[in-house]
Amino acid sequence: MKKLARSMFARMGYEVRKTSRESRPPAPTASPPMSRYAHLIELFSKRAPRRMIEIGVWRGDRSVQFLKKGVKLKRYVGFDLFDDLSEDIAQQEKMGFCNMSRLEEVEPRLLGARHGDSPTVELMAGPTERTLPEFAEANGPEFDFIYIDGGHSLETIRNDWTYSEKLLAPDGLVVFDDYYPNEAGRGAKPLVDELLQDDRFEIRFFPMIEDIIDNLQITMVAVSRRDGR
């Protein structure tokens, strides 16, 4: 099973890395034709999870893609601040701007993207410092795909990872957005760099690094337990 997973990731352009003292993502050998988001959806489709969590739903753009591509998906759970977002929180979470999404608008959009009545859609509104611990208390390690793209503060990212790890199935995968290769203390980079030193996990950097604003670079990172531990 592990060899099959390694082979799948290799075909998709990943460099599969075990623990390393080096905390830089590998430089891609060529510029891939797809964005990191397109690569995320392709990875999701290939893994065909049955249960997933998305942290950071916002307007539901990515959620709709997950629901449309999730042919085996039975349960989708999304976390977001929704109506609780404010200017102060946006600044605290280093979002750059406050662009609230309303639960009452997002929920019907997601329900309409499903294949009939499947999967079930559950949306958890509020700060994940509150909602994730409550959810983890009531649910076991059954989620085989978790996507983390919520608040950008180091405290929130660490909280989201702590409870995602508790909810992750033994052979599951967590994908972090907001890994900034050229910004040492920003986004998911500090936490992912810590995980690089932890021999319980395998770290796979997406094979593209994108330039966004002010020379800032970004990519995504996939994290899984080694040998399903």
Q: Which residues of the chain have pLDDT under 70?
A: 1-33, 83-100, 228-229
Q: Give the pLDDT of residue 152.
A: 80
Between the CA of residue 199 and those of 18, 209, 226, 227, what are the distances in Å?
7, 25, 8, 11
pLDDT of residue 21: 41
pLDDT at 51: 98
pTM of the model: 0.83
Helix (H, G, I), strand (E, B) or coil at 178: strand
pLDDT at 215: 85
Structural domains of the chain sorted by starting position, each given as residue range(s) with its CATH number in brackets: 50-228 (3.40.50.150)
Q: Tell me what pLDDT residue 73 has.
A: 97
Q: What is the DSSP string of 29-76?
A: SS--SS-HHHHHHHHHHHH--SEEEEE--TTSHHHHHHHHH-TT--EE
Distances (CA, A) of 57 to 38, 100, 159, 176, 204: 17, 11, 17, 14, 23
pLDDT tens for 186-211 read 899 999 999 999 999 999 999 999 99
Count the alpha carbons within 13 Å of 126 in the hemisphere toward its beta carbon. 8
The confidence score (pLDDT) of residue 96 equals 55
pLDDT (tens digit, 9 = 90+) per residue, 54-68? Answer: 999 988 999 999 999
